[in-house]
């Protein structure tokens, strides 16, 4: 549900520098053997629940021998207002040593379209690793859960602010997110805050075809492993055309 409902808050979905860069439960990932249920919409409210009984296709006979994923979410939409709350948890069959085997993520956020400006705000708390198994694996834990210090009881609090502003024939997209880790690396140094900032512009050639250009910068963050004890910085510039068939 973090992915389904959380994505609705994203302003700028640039590859590897969108909302999912720091809100990993909203990133683009896919679980195997997943069943979702969405309630009918009632007065703007909709609820959803999901369960994956073999999230990464281990195909073991006993359900408890497979990695399982549980999620729940609530969405409210009324005209220009959108609000979402999601919870995702992964239940690992083979938890890494020193971890509780329960990566989880909570997300809260809202957006409002003022017509001259669309504003989006969100917060997330991720604990014990990435619940989508969609992070890096810098310490060789083998399940893309993130750094070992994160998996073994660490927490990441993340915030996001995004805005889209009509400008001439197109739209300017601005997005900033900050992720605050609470652990220390093996050398005793405290993990630093990671930030991802992007500025982009889109121009619609037709209802299905769009030109785009963007620039992004990430500090204390890598596209492969996210948090980095070497305090890496990443810059990305891109332009292109997208077409919906």
Model pLDDT for residues 175-215, shown as the tens digit of each residue = 999 999 999 998 889 999 999 999 999 999 988 899 999 99
Backbone angles phi, psi at 65, to 5 degrees: -85, 0
Domain that holds residue 182: 2-243
pLDDT score of 228 more than 90: no
Please say if the pLDDT value at position 90 is more than 90: yes
CB neighbours (10 Å) of residue 236?
Answer: 16
pLDDT recorded at residue 55: 85
Read out DSSP for 105-167?
Answer: EEEEEEEEE-SS-EEEEEEEEEESS-TTS-S--TT--SSS---HHHHTT-EEEEEEEEEEEEE
Percent of the chain at pLDDT above 90?
Answer: 70
Residue 222 has pLDDT above 80, yes or no: yes
For residue 26, which phi and psi values (nearest 5 degrees)? -105, 5
Average pLDDT, the chain: 93
Q: Could you give the angle at the alpha carbon of 109 between the alpha carbons of 242 and 99, nearest 5°?
A: 95
Q: Which whole number is the average pLDDT over 58-82?
A: 90
Token pair of 101 as six digits: 């085997």
Instruction: Evaluate if residue 104 carries a pLDDT over 80.
Output: yes
State the total domains in the chain. Answer: 1
CATH of the domain at 234: 2.40.160.10
User: Could you tell me the pLDDT band of residue 45, with boundaries at 50, 70 and 90?
Assistant: very high
What per-residue confidence (pLDDT) applies to 85?
Answer: 97
For the chain, the first-to-last Cα distance in angstroms comes to 26
What integer is the mean pLDDT of 36-54?
95
The contacts of residue 108 (CB under 8 Å, 6+ apart) are: 84, 85, 122, 123, 124
- Is residue 153 scored above 90 in pLDDT? yes
């Amino acid at each position: 549900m973090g992915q389904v409902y959380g994505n609705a808050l994203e302003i700028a979905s640039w590859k590897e520098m969108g909302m999912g860069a720091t809100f990993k439960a909203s990133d683009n990932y896919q679980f195997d053997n997943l069943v979702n249920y969405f309630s009918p919409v009632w007065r703007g409210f909709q609820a959803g629940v999901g369960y994956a009984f073999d999230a990464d296709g281990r195909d073991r006979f006993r359900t408890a021998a497979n990695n399982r994923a549980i999620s729940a979410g609530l969405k409210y939409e009324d005209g220009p207002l959108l609000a979402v709350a999601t919870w995702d948890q992964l239940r690992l069959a083979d938890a890494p040593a020193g971890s509780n085997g329960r990566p989880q993520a909570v997300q809260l956020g809202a957006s409002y379209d003022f017509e001259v400006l669309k504003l989006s705000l969100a917060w997330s708390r991720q604990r014990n690793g990435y619940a989508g198994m969609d992070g890096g694996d810098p310490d060789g834990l083998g399940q893309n859960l993130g750094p070992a210090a994160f998996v073994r009881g660490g927490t990441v609090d993340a915030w996001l602010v995004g805005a889209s502003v009509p400008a001439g024939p197109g739209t300017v997209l601005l997005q900033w997110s900050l992720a605050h880790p609470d652990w220390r690396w093996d050398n005793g140094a405290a993990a630093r805050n990671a930030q991802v900032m992007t500025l982009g512009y889109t121009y619609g050639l037709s209802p299905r075809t769009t030109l785009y250009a963007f620039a992004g910068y990430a500090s204390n963050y890598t596209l492969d492993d996210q948090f980095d004890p070497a305090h890496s910085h990443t810059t990305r510039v891109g332009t292109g055309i997208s077409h919906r068939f």
